[in-house]
Amino acid sequence: MKTRITELFGVEHPIMQGGMHYVGLAELAAAVSNAGGVGIITGLTQRTPELLAAEIARCRELTDKPFGVNLTFLPSLSAPDYPGYVKAIVDGGVKIVETAGNNPAKWLPGLKEAGIKVIHKCTSVRHALKAEAIGCDAVSVDGFECGGHPGEDDVPNFILLPRAAEELKIPFLASGGMADGRSLVAALSLGADGMNMGTRFIATREAPVHENVKQAILNASELDTRLVMRPLRNTERVLVNAGVERLLEKERTLGAALKFEDIIEEVAGVYPKVMTEGDMEVGAWSCGMVCGLIHDVPTCQELIDRIMAEATQIIRGRLEGMLAG
């Protein structure tokens, strides 16, 4: 399939794997890229720029296809060494960067100078337009369904994607709730140039996470995610568990008085416990409503091949067939 996204990134299929904390390691990024998509290493999961450089080198040993690095710009008291991470990306010869969180304007000149294509992930049309205006090459538009941070507007993809298509000139990916060939054809129909998936890629053989995480996604239905940290205007969609129930109880009890320190136990340091140790009740980890559509743990190659075959069948068989009828 050829779209503006396959052209931009020089890949076979218009399918990207979004940056995921403690999931987007070299194994997964390489597996997605080897299957013809765009695999992404999550920059900040590597505690230092040196470790990121090593992870990029490790990924390059696993694939000769294009892959990218996610740089998430979070509001934080002690900012990570962003210049160091950018240098590791540039020196590592990476040609695709997925930015997310705050406006990436400050980092664009350095990235562009190195010939890097930047795709910014955002959750609203106004932020997508801003990304276009500052010179991003593409955007990923994350609907309300998405795992992780859906923003505060709560616009689902059936509205958000066609709205983005109405306004944007640069290519964009549909993100949030994407799982299969149906998602891809729907995304293309709504005006996107491909799709970005997070949660779906966790339930793959190569995702380097504890088996309990994959099993939790298989067991979950579309009713099993919750929105946390809304009172802090830092909303995150997570899979429900005992720690999340405790967190939500604190939100209910404390109301507008809630502070980050009140919920630190349920949100800080949770990822290694979940993803590495498989402790599924400890607290908040991102997961999309799309878990309701995930019923198996294929390899990335099987998943992407299946998506492309299903998309082709829907377009050539189902849709063409309807017109012919």
Ligand X SMILES: Cc1cc2nc3c(=O)[nH]c(=O)nc-3n(C[C@H](O)[C@H](O)[C@H](O)COP(=O)(O)O)c2cc1C
Q: By C-beta, is 243 or 288 nearer to ligand X?
A: 288
- Asked whether the CA dihedral 77, 80, 82, 84 is positive or negative, the reply is positive
Nearest distance in Å: CB 136, ligand X: 14
Nearest distance in Å: CB 325, ligand X: 33
Nearest distance in Å: CB 294, ligand X: 10
Nearest distance in Å: CB 324, ligand X: 33
Cα 204-209-214 angle, rounded to 5 deg? 50
- Asked whether the CA dihedral 35, 98, 282, 81 is positive or negative, the reply is positive
Nearest distance in Å: CB 165, ligand X: 18
Q: By C-beta, is 20 or 258 nearer to ligand X?
A: 20
Query: From CA 112, how far away is CA 250, in angstroms rounded?
Result: 44
Nearest distance in Å: CB 112, ligand X: 20
Query: From CA 287, how far away is CA 317, in angstroms rounded?
Result: 32
Give the DSSP letter of residue 38.
Answer: B
Cβ atoms within 10 Å of 201's Cβ, excluding its own: 27
160 CB-near residues (< 8 Å, 6+ apart): 123, 124, 125, 141, 143, 144
Residue nearest to ligand X (CB): 198
Query: From CA 108, how far away is CA 118, in angstroms rounded?
Result: 8
Q: By C-beta, is 80 or 177 nearer to ligand X?
A: 177
Q: By C-beta, is 263 or 290 nearer to ligand X?
A: 290
Q: By C-beta, is 80 or 231 nearer to ligand X?
A: 80
Q: Judge contact between 230 and 271, C-beta under 8 A.
A: no
Q: Judge contact between 56 and 66, C-beta under 8 A.
A: no
Query: From CA 117, how far away is CA 237, in angstroms rounded?
Result: 28
Task: Give φ, ψ of 236 to 5 degrees.
Answer: -135, 135
Sole residue written with tokens 């929105």:
227
Query: From CA 139, how far away is CA 129, in angstroms rounded?
Result: 9
Q: By C-beta, is 6 or 196 nearer to ligand X?
A: 196
Crossing angle of helices 125-134 and 157-167, rounded to 10°:
30
Q: Please, where are the H alpha helices in 10-65?
A: 26-34, 49-62
Q: By C-beta, is 284 or 308 nearer to ligand X?
A: 284
Q: By C-beta, is 176 or 231 nearer to ligand X?
A: 176
Residues that bind ligand X (CB under 6 A): 18-21, 23, 42, 70, 72, 100, 121, 142, 145-148, 175-178, 196-200, 285-288, 290
Nearest distance in Å: CB 28, ligand X: 11
Q: By C-beta, is 138 or 290 nearer to ligand X?
A: 290
Nearest distance in Å: CB 322, ligand X: 28
Nearest distance in Å: CB 232, ligand X: 17
